[in-house]
Amino acid sequence: MAMVNCLIDGIKVEVAEGTSILNAAKLANVKVPTLCYHPDLTPWAACGICVVKMAGSPKMIRACATPAEEGRNYITQDAELTKTRTTVLEMILADHPDDCLTCGRSGNCELQTIASDFGIREQPFEKNAPRMPKDESTTSIVLNPEKCIKCGRCAIVCQDLQGVYALEFIGRGEHTQLKPAADVLLEDSPCIKCGQCSAHCPVGAIYEKDETKQAIRALANPDLHVVVQMAPAVRVAIGEAFGVEPGTILTGQIYAAMRRLGFDKVFDTNFAADLTIMEEGTEFIHRFTEAKDQLPLITSCCPAWVDYMEKYANDLIPNFSTCKSPMQMEGAMIKTYYAEKMGIDPKTIYSVAIMPCTAKKFEIGSCSDMSSAIGEAQDTDLVLTTRELARMIKQAGIDFVNLPEEEVDPLLGTYAGAATIFGVTGGVMEAALRTAVTVMTGEKLPKVEFEATRGMDGVKTAKLNVKGTEVNIAIAHGMVNIETVLNEVREAKKNGTKTPYDFIEVMACRGGCIGGGGQPTGATDEVRAKRTAGIYNDDEKSVIRCSHDNPDVQAAYKDFLGEPNSHKAHELLHREYIKRPVYNK
């Protein structure tokens, strides 16, 4: 790799060719201020706050988008640069409302932080922050254009990382708004509710729909039996909201905090992840051995991906696994199996799910199959994101990090290591392979890890040799990466040739759910790597590694469901899909 030597304020640094001045400066322990830049995205230099100079030249250049050049000496701070940056900031603040106190991002807003670092105490420019209506049309995210600083991150995430094109710069100059085309609201746009825009927005202009009040109200209602479940990815990320290192596993502390918040029963979505493997693994083996024309089997546990597929890839509906997501399986089991076992009237159960995901808020009411346990009532009543749970814990004054660890409640809580890895890209595939290969070969796996499924490449493919039979798999994460895989499948269908893949896993978010749109903000690949390591640690320290060895799952089949893919399982744990238009108009 060609290297470049340059100076940052006189300090020598060596970086790979093409490295931006911004990143070179980090090696010299300088953090140039940024607003529009995000390490996930190609820089497009919109805001101008990151200006630096070259020694001997008065010209200001944008550090985020300019590669460091050989032999240069870059000046990252002097009186003139500070003045320019301050002016940029003051101009942004002139267009920004001053209601930090009631803003969802107060305390971790990038604009607030920079304004604080710069010691802004006055606003010299005329205030121009008109009131504007919010877009609250979806059940997942809220757009508040008043707060938007037009950095463009959301649109670039939505287009370049997710390939959805729900958001775009509409209009010009000071009238620019980041919103869907054709004057429609998000709900009628192509938006798949992944929430990646909200995870990347530097300010409080796009955020999760806050439903903590509903949870608190339910917890205060003595007539309700309030049950909670938590997704795999929550346990390795929630700590960040309390200043703990990403990837720290806080499962026991979360169970304890949930009990203190007043939940009557604490379950774990991981149980249902094991259940999903039993159902989906069986589905795969059936298609692979007896119905090859129905291959590839495509995973369906990510609701943003399901929404994308129903809009953009509904030609492949027959290839979709009919399995519900683990959250919805758990939800259905809570209001049937658990209610029955405990002799509780399921109508009095209020079922809450803690998810790393904004799309999950949409999923629970997305079609009639989401109400399978008791009549029209939803199987899951409320979804809170990791961020919302963290707020509830703080509001209650719980010293979260120092809580003594507690155990999950039995029946729908115990899980295998295979379940926890659902939280990362490749994890569902790996978990499914652990069980499917065991069943297909009739032998215990010598090694449960499948390395080919791991890592951050947008598309991972592998050929597995299962006792002489070839199994081809593909894994995609970051919604934009799926199209190439789907097109290969479509091409084979068109030509009547053998499918290139037998089993495909898709997760909408980069890195999988650990990088979900409802996780603590500030995720970068560095943070994702730590959360991922936390997930694999959780798996390694599990005594039980494979879903089919989970004793509570075995009991659920024996006492309630019968066999995997049984009639009862189909009623409660499986679903159908519909074609949806890209624009609802």
Partner 1 sequence: MADEKLLPMSEGLVAFITEWKKKPGNLIMVLHKVQEEYGYIAGEVAIEVSRMLEVPLAKIYGVATFYHLFTLKKPGKNKIAVCMGTACYLKGAQDLLDELDTILSCKAGEKTADDMFSVAGVRCIGCCGLAPVMTINGKVFGNVKREQLPDLLAPFQNAK
Size of the site for partner 1 (CB under 8 A): 15
Beta carbon of residue 453, minimum distance to ligand SF4 (angstroms, whole number): 15
The neighbour count for residue 248, using CB atoms within 10 Å, is 19
| Selected binder of ligand SF4 within 201, 215, 424, 523 (CB under 6 A) | 201
Beta carbon of residue 1, minimum distance to ligand SF4 (angstroms, whole number): 32
Q: Is residue 256 a contact residue for ligand FES (CB under 6 A)?
A: no
Q: Is residue 30 a contact residue for ligand FES (CB under 6 A)?
A: no
The neighbour count for residue 138, using CB atoms within 10 Å, is 22
Q: Is residue 309 a contact residue for ligand SF4 (CB under 6 A)?
A: no
Beta carbon of residue 187, minimum distance to partner 1 (angstroms, whole number): 15
| Selected binder of ligand SF4 within 149, 227, 234, 297 (CB under 6 A) | 149
Place of tokens 């894994």: 475
Pick from partner 1, ligand FES, ligand SF4, none: which does 178 bind, CB < 5 to 8 A by kind? Answer: ligand SF4
Pick from ligand FES, partner 1, ligand SF4, none: which does 159 bind, CB < 5 to 8 A by kind? Answer: partner 1
Interior angle at CA 114, CA 110 and CA 119, nearest 5: 150
> Coil, helix or strand for 13?
strand
| Selected binder of ligand SF4 within 51, 52, 63, 197 (CB under 6 A) | 197
Judged by beta carbon, residue 199 or residue 313, the one nearer ligand FES is 199
| Selected binder of ligand FES within 27, 28, 41, 45 (CB under 6 A) | 45
Q: Residue 182 and residue 162: Cα distance in Å, rounded?
A: 20
Q: Residue 298 and residue 503: Cα distance in Å, rounded?
A: 6
Pick from ligand SF4, partner 1, ligand FES, none: which does 47 bind, CB < 5 to 8 A by kind? Answer: ligand FES
Pick from ligand SF4, partner 1, ligand FES, none: which does 373 bind, CB < 5 to 8 A by kind? Answer: none
| Selected binder of ligand FES within 6, 23, 30, 37 (CB under 6 A) | 37
Contact characters 345-374, ligand SF4, x per CB under 6 A? -----------xx-x---------------
Amino acid at 46: A
Q: Is residue 165 a contact residue for partner 1 (CB under 8 A)?
A: yes
Name which of 582, 517, 525 is nearest 194 in CA terms: 517
Q: Is residue 48 a contact residue for ligand FES (CB under 6 A)?
A: yes
Pick from partner 1, ligand FES, ligand SF4, none: which does 64 bind, CB < 5 to 8 A by kind? Answer: ligand FES
The neighbour count for residue 193, using CB atoms within 10 Å, is 30
**DSSP conformational letter for 449:** -
Beta carbon of residue 512, minimum distance to ligand SF4 (angstroms, whole number): 5
Q: Residue 555 and residue 539: Cα distance in Å, rounded?
A: 22
Amino acid at 435: T
Name which of 387, 395, 460, 382 is nearest 425 in CA terms: 460
Percentages of the chain per state (helix, strand, coil), in multiples of 5: 45, 15, 40
Interior angle at CA 159, CA 158 and CA 165, nearest 5: 85
Pairing of strands 141-143, 206-208: antiparallel
The neighbour count for residue 292, using CB atoms within 10 Å, is 11
Q: Residue 272 and residue 442: Cα distance in Å, rounded?
A: 24
Alpha helices in 203-357 (DSSP H): 212-220, 251-261, 269-290, 303-312, 326-333, 339-342
Beta carbon of residue 438, minimum distance to partner 1 (angstroms, whole number): 44
Judged by beta carbon, residue 4 or residue 148, the one nearer ligand SF4 is 148
| Selected binder of partner 1 within 39, 124, 171, 455 (CB under 8 A) | 171
Which residues contribute to the site for ligand SF4 (CB under 6 A)?
Answer: 141, 148-154, 157-158, 162, 164, 166-167, 178, 191-197, 200-203, 205-206, 302-305, 356-357, 359, 507-509, 512-513, 516
Which residues contribute to the site for ligand FES (CB under 6 A)?
Answer: 34-37, 45-50, 62, 64
